[in-house]
Amino acid sequence: MAKQGYADLSAGRLPHTGDSAEMIADRAAFLSAGHYRFIADALARESSPLTVRPEPSLIVDAGTGTGDYLAHVLDACPAATGLGLDVSKPGLRRAARAHPRAAAVLTDLWRPLPIVDRAATVILNVFAPRNGPEFHRVLRPDGVLLVVTPAADHLAELVAAHGLIQVDPDKAARVSGALEDHFQPVATGTHRHVMRLTAAEVRTLVGMTPSARHVPVADLPATDLTVTAAVELTAYRKKGVA
């Protein structure tokens, strides 16, 4: 156990360290302002009916970051416990304190996950890597995988104004390729939210994205901006389950 409250189950040296402390701090600030609350609300609506069962429910957040999405879902699922997985130590320091019914674990999502077979009722995967075989192994036969990915026009105004990294036009195909051998989609919905951001919030949003590694955030113009957040939320069921 790390002194910050998360368990290190990485089983050795990791090839990458995930989001930096600066990116995590920006993400925490942006999420706490409620700008992506519409994503958390959508995940909670999908998850809540799945956890109304006699036996305990486990919600796994694969790529938990700060733990905000998992905490919001657990608030809507009072009978469930949560487990947040991530490779970023700065993220896990926050995720370990995100909710009284959640634990946080340091692990690489590309490797075998430190979870027993068929343990999870719900797996959340928000803007994070997708390990199809391992998700299939740890999900219950009647469980659901909820995947959130950016829509084609996600943050389009921000991309146009500051030359940020655009959404990969092959994103949907890559997501399908990662999961199609083990999962079948059962429902897909697009969720949009218009954000009116101050100049400081624009800098924070850029700072929490991969573009922060390529764009000097401190040099961004001090101007407010209206930005559209647009995501796809897809629910998947396991293949090969009667």
Annotated binding site for S-adenosyl-L-methionine: 36, 66-67, 154
> From its phi and psi, is residue 55 left (phi > 0), alpha (psi between -120 and 50) or beta?
beta
CA-CA distance, 145 to 47, in Å (whole number)? Answer: 10
CA-CA distance, 139 to 134, in Å (whole number)? Answer: 9
CA-CA distance, 221 to 234, in Å (whole number)? Answer: 36
The shares of helix, strand and coil residues in the chain, as percent rounded to the nearest 5, are 35, 30, 40
Closest to 69 measured CA to CA, from 84, 57, 50 = 84
Strand runs labelled E in 74-119? 80-86, 102-106
Answer positive or negative: Cα dihedral of 67, 73, 76, 79. Answer: negative
As to burial, measured by CB atoms within 10 angstroms (0-12 exposed, 13-18 middle, 19+ buried), residue 163 is: exposed
DSSP states of 123-142 as a string? EEEESS---HHHHHHHEEEE
CA-CA distance, 210 to 110, in Å (whole number)? Answer: 19
Please enumerate, by residue number, every residue annotated as part of a binding site. Answer: 36, 66-67, 154
